[in-house]
Amino acid sequence: MMRLQEIKIGFIGGGNMAAAMIQGLLKAGVAARQIVVSEPDDGRQQWLQTQYGVGVSGSNSVVVQSGAEVVILAVKPGKVSSVLQALQADWQTGQLLISIAAGVALAQLQALLPAGQPVVRVMPNTPALIGEGIAALYAAPSLSVAQRQTARALLEVSGEVVEIEDEGWMDGVTALSGSGPAYVYLIAEALSDGGVACGLPRPLADRLAIRTLIGSARLLDASGSHPGVLKNQVTSPGGTTIAGLIRLETAGVRGALIEAVQAAWQRSRTLSGKS
């Protein structure tokens, strides 16, 4: 595996996920001069250059032809086909493509690339913006060990990486960790509203809600315990917590969250052309 500090990295698309990865790469010691980004919006180009000092261009071909050993495809799913079709003649042999476009299957990507072009499919999430993301990676069996390690190293600068063995799981990953941050933000907002309903000032309610979510998640991660075990530790007989939990169960909150993930999963399958 090549060390990140020794390779050139290209981004096709300069949106939020690309910015998160660039930020992580710079923190990991990759020099700004090793990164080049194509972005159609002039204002966004200027922001990327000013914020990170990376090379920018309005041309996707410039990125692919820049000598980048790895190219990260960070465009909207609906643009993948037209972008890759326009780049057919630009790819270098062995140049690794990492796609973070949701719902675009590996076979679809391979059909739009020269035969044998190495490609990895990844589903990241927005906490990558602060280095707390989790990304699921699926690679074709033909990918070399070194290429797989390089892909992991690039993604780990923005958080945790898990490799999945079945590409069919990607729709579930999208529904849970890809869409999941929105569910958490909704819960945070609702908890804060509850605090305000109890007479707390909004800034205090917001802070209590946020820190409660952060602390609880970190404790759950660090303890290795089942969520139910930690829930029971907070729940005293006849106390305040059990009263709140009864109301949540009556309102069907648990079932609603399960159904939210299932609905997002079904939508992801529809967008992927599976149903």
Are 152 and 241 in contact by the 8 Å Cβ rule? The answer is no
**Phi, psi dihedrals of residue 6, rounded to the nearest 5°:** -110, 0
- CATH code of residue 16: 3.40.50.720
- Give 154's Cβ-side CA count (13 Å radius): 33
What tokens were used for 83?
């972008």
Q: Given this model, what pLDDT does residue 2 score? A: 57
| SS3 letters across 188-248 | HHHHHHHHHHCCCCHHHHHHHHHHHHHHHHHHHHHHCCCHHHHHHHHCCCCCHHHHHHHHH
Write out the residue range of the structural domain in which residue 52 sits: 4-170
Q: How far is CA 260 from the centre of its chain?
A: 18
Do 8 and 121 fall within a single domain?
A: yes
For the chain, the first-to-last Cα distance in angstroms comes to 39
Domain end marker among 146, 170, 194: 170
Taking the CA atoms of residue 222, residue 29, residue 153 and residue 117 in that order, the dihedral angle to the nearest 10 degrees is: 160
- Give 129's Cβ-side CA count (13 Å radius): 7
C-alpha–C-alpha distance, residues 100 and 85, integer Å: 17
- CATH code of residue 225: 1.10.3730.10
Do 57 and 156 fall within a single domain?
A: yes
**Tens of each residue's pLDDT in the chain, 275 residues:** 457 878 999 999 999 889 989 998 998 889 999 999 999 999 999 999 999 999 999 999 999 999 999 999 999 989 999 999 999 999 999 899 999 998 899 999 999 999 999 999 999 998 988 889 999 999 988 899 999 999 999 999 889 999 999 999 999 999 999 999 999 999 999 999 999 999 999 999 999 999 999 999 999 999 999 999 999 999 999 999 999 999 999 999 999 999 999 999 999 888 777 76
Do 159 and 192 fall within a single domain?
A: no
Domain end marker among 117, 147, 170: 170
Do 204 and 109 fall within a single domain?
A: no
Domain end marker among 144, 170, 196: 170
Do 84 and 215 fall within a single domain?
A: no
User: For 167, which DSSP code?
Assistant: G
Do 95 and 196 fall within a single domain?
A: no
Do 206 and 157 fall within a single domain?
A: no
Do 39 and 127 fall within a single domain?
A: yes
Do 147 and 193 fall within a single domain?
A: no
**Phi, psi dihedrals of residue 231, rounded to the nearest 5°:** -60, -45
Cβ neighbors of 36 (< 8 A, separation 6 or more) are 8, 9, 10, 11, 54, 55, 56, 57, 62, 63, 66, 68
Do 235 and 102 fall within a single domain?
A: no
Do 11 and 36 fall within a single domain?
A: yes
C-alpha–C-alpha distance, residues 172 and 179, integer Å: 10
Do 151 and 16 fall within a single domain?
A: yes
Are 256 and 264 in contact by the 8 Å Cβ rule? The answer is no
Structural domain count, the chain: 2
